Structure 1
Amino acid sequence: MVLWSDILSIRALNRPIFNFFVDNCVIKVGNGIRIRFWLDRWCGGLCLKSSFPLLFNLSSDKEGSLNHYFARKSSSSAWNLPHRRELYSWELAEEVRLNALLSSAPTLCLDREDCQVWCTDSVSSFSVSALYSHNSSLLGPHLKVSNFVWNSSLPLRVSFFSWLAWKSRIKCSDFLLKIGILDSNTSPLCHFCNSELETASQVLLHYPFSWSIWSAVVEEWGLHWCIPNSVDGLLSWWMSGKFHNFDRLIWRAIPLIVLWSIWKLRNECVFSNAQPTSSGLLELIKFRSVVWLKASIKDFPYSVDDLVFN
């Protein structure tokens, strides 16, 4: 009971996962007391309400249990379906179709309770891997960005910060004001320029100093670009780069290192009154790249000088 109550609680938190459970569970008929004739999937995995909406709307017992419907049968094959009024001729055809379906429906087993069972086209038991695969399929391009962010070649703190930036959850002034950390009288303007609202995209991408860093990095790879509107757009564009072998590993690490380095410099300017210089930050980005990648990638062929000067 605790397990199913936890699964039902998912409905409010993640509707697609809840629907995955609902769509792949069918009810094994026992005594029919807990099964709702119209609303539950007990007859061949079908919900009669969805399959016969006209008859459901006319039913005078929409919530009735399967046990009650069985008790009203006049014979083993004659179902007594209560309606609010007499059926018209075109509605009788639907009732004939419903009775044809019910003729092959499971019968009651009075000494056994109704129960839910897992049933899909390929497997007869639930697996966590099936749920994970289903949930991943719903993420679409977001799954690719997520895999891109969690780069095993970099320190975990760098990937975690990049994930926060991607989700617009870094603690800029606008975020701290929203959650009540900063007093409402505190200025939400950028600590770099004191003229625009400090947001993740403004600090990390669009502030002129930040833009110059990104442009210098991209130009060193012989590319031209128009800076994206958000961190999500930046990472999506960066994933489109076509490189091979170790160059690809470097390329995939660079945006995360740049994001981390710009934010670290922002904090130093805010809390230690540091003065930002683009040349100094670019050298630091290159140094971090080679040190972190050489420490995590076996047989990494480039030296510090290779990355700094070439």
Structure 2
Amino acid sequence: MVNWREILANIEQGGLGVRNLAEVNDCLLLKWWWRRVWSDILQLVHKRPAPVEFYLSNLKLSVGNEDRIHLWEDKWLNNLYLKEEFPRLYSLSEEKGCNCSAFVGCKEFTHYHLQTPLHYLNVYLYAFGEPLAWEEEEVLRLHELLRETPTLSLESKDSCQWMANPEGSFTVASAWKWWMYSKGPNLNVTKDLWKNFAPSKVKFCGWLVWRGRLKTVAVLKNLRVLNEDSDSLCLFCKSEEESVHHLMLFCPFVDMMQWWGLVWVLPGLVKDLLLWWSGVKFSKIVLRMWKVIPLAVMWSLWKARNECLFSGKPVEWNELAELVNVRVALWSKLNIEGMHYSVQQIVTNLHQTKACVGRRRLPLG
């Protein structure tokens, strides 16, 4: 069995990329919030704090001549809420819901006239008796903060900019990209597992092997599908327990790699094998062939194991190795545009084929 969280994880992070509908809905809600950017969305902060925080941190407001931006309750100044920066002044203010444009051109003040670059942005904070000394300090601090603001433009409307997108407009894709990145880093191995020209079922088999979820005897015993006293010996060598790593690595893998002319020290785990595999450098075309080799080996081994188990068909290693070669050659022939060699030529003259296609710049299919 595969954990549901692994299925929902992004492909680049080791999952299957099945999208969580609740997370998709949150990203779509951000689009709705963007279209109605002046709506009160903070009521959702307790239900979905992460997307709300992301939204507010990437939203930049520009003050214009409309009444949409609120002085205290919007992040229009240095990405700050004035009500949070000056909680005492906000609690004393009689104009908590006031907007910035309401103070433009106002010449009547109750106690304080804070003349700022915002065309005389007049902030009358409260209508009560003489303030205390520390309250005056807060007023002066607010005054200094407002001096740093850009000039309010009476010729333009209130506007907003989405900082997560270079174009400045909100996209659901930018929100989803952030959501995926917040879950963890991308893995190089998964890129090679999925971004190649092997059939989808072969890629999925490779993913199960990498995750250790292929239903070998050891896995089935761990899931209690098989009894502890069930025969667990490998069908190929009859000497060790059939685990994912033994089946895919220690039986025939080394012999099969002779076709590629590879001499190496075999890793002990499948994930180490694939990690090493992803670090090998070839020309672009040869690299595309290289990426599908472990998948072809794993797929062929698994099919041969099942035929041996359920049909009683003995395994002929020479034929199995030849079958892996043919599969790699066939997939390469069908998916690499400009590959003029036949399947037979690729199989019998692999080194010459690699040398030729490595020097040529064939168009990538």
Same fold (TM over 0.5): yes
8 Å CA contact retained: 2:196, 2:291: no
2:118 matches 1:79: no
Structure 2 counterpart of 1:119? 162
Change beyond 3 A, Cα 1:253–1:215 = same
Query: What CA distance in whole angstroms lies between the structure 2 residues aligned with 1:81 and 1:274?
Result: 93
Query: What CA distance in whole angstroms lies between the structure 1 residues aligned with 2:133 and 2:216?
Result: 65
The match for 1:304 among 335, 339, 344 is 344
User: How far is the alpha carbon of 1:262 from its aligned partner?
Assistant: 2.2
2:54 matches 1:24: no
The match for 1:241 among 280, 291, 301 is 280
User: How far is the alpha carbon of 1:243 from its aligned partner?
Assistant: 1.7
Change beyond 3 A, Cα 1:167–1:241 = same
Change beyond 3 A, Cα 1:282–1:133 = same
Aligned length: 281
- The 5 A counterparts of 1:144-183 are 144-171=188-215
Residue by residue over 1:79-128, the C-alpha shift from the partner in whole angstroms, topping out at 9 and shown as x without a partner, is: 3599xxx7869x94x66333422464999xxxx9xx99442284231235
2:305 matches 1:266: yes
Moved more, 121-130 or 186-195: 186-195
8 Å CA contact retained: 2:300, 2:324: yes
CA RMSD of superposed structures (Å): 5.2
Structure 2 counterpart of 1:295? 334
8 Å CA contact retained: 1:7, 1:18: no
2:89 matches 1:43: no
8 Å CA contact retained: 2:192, 2:278: yes
8 Å CA contact retained: 2:61, 2:159: yes
Query: What CA distance in whole angstroms lies between the structure 2 residues aligned with 1:117 and 1:164?
Result: 46
Structure 2 counterpart of 1:223? 263
2:145 matches 1:101: yes
8 Å CA contact retained: 2:197, 2:331: yes
Query: What CA distance in whole angstroms lies between the structure 1 residues aligned with 2:49 and 2:273?
Result: 28
Query: What CA distance in whole angstroms lies between the structure 2 residues aligned with 1:244 and 1:117?
Result: 46
Change beyond 3 A, Cα 1:129–1:241 = same
The letter for the 2-side match of 1:79 is L
Q: Point out the structure with max Rg over C-alpha.
A: 2
TM-score normalised to structure 2 length: 0.55
Change beyond 3 A, Cα 1:261–1:99 = farther
2:29 matches 1:4: yes
Moved more, 237-246 or 217-226: 217-226
The letter for the 2-side match of 1:46 is L
User: How far is the alpha carbon of 1:256 from its aligned partner?
Assistant: 1.5
Moved more, 73-82 or 241-250: 73-82
The match for 1:210 among 237, 246, 249 is 249
Q: Which has a greater percent of helix?
A: 1
The letter for the 2-side match of 1:119 is W
The letter for the 2-side match of 1:154 is A
User: How far is the alpha carbon of 1:225 from its aligned partner?
Assistant: 2.8
The match for 1:193 among 234, 259, 284 is 234
User: How far is the alpha carbon of 1:20 from its aligned partner?
Assistant: 4.5
Change beyond 3 A, Cα 1:222–1:5 = closer
Moved more, 156-165 or 186-195: 186-195
Residue by residue over 1:236-271, the C-alpha shift from the partner in whole angstroms, topping out at 9 and shown as x without a partner, is: 211211222543222111011122222223333443
User: Secondary structure at the residue paired with 1:223?
Assistant: coil
Moved more, 245-254 or 22-31: 22-31
Structure 2 unaligned segments of length 5 or more: list them: 1-24, 34-43, 103-109, 113-121, 351-365
Residue by residue over 1:47-98, the C-alpha shift from the partner in whole angstroms, topping out at 9 and shown as x without a partner, is: 4588x4xx55x78959x99417999x8553343599xxx7869x94x66333
User: How far is the alpha carbon of 1:158 from its aligned partner?
Assistant: 1.5
Moved more, 233-242 or 133-142: 133-142
2:97 matches 1:67: yes
Structure 1 unaligned segments of length 5 or more: list them: none
Change beyond 3 A, Cα 1:69–1:118 = closer
Query: What CA distance in whole angstroms lies between the structure 1 residues aligned with 2:346 and 2:31?
Result: 55
Change beyond 3 A, Cα 1:97–1:59 = closer
Change beyond 3 A, Cα 1:176–1:192 = closer
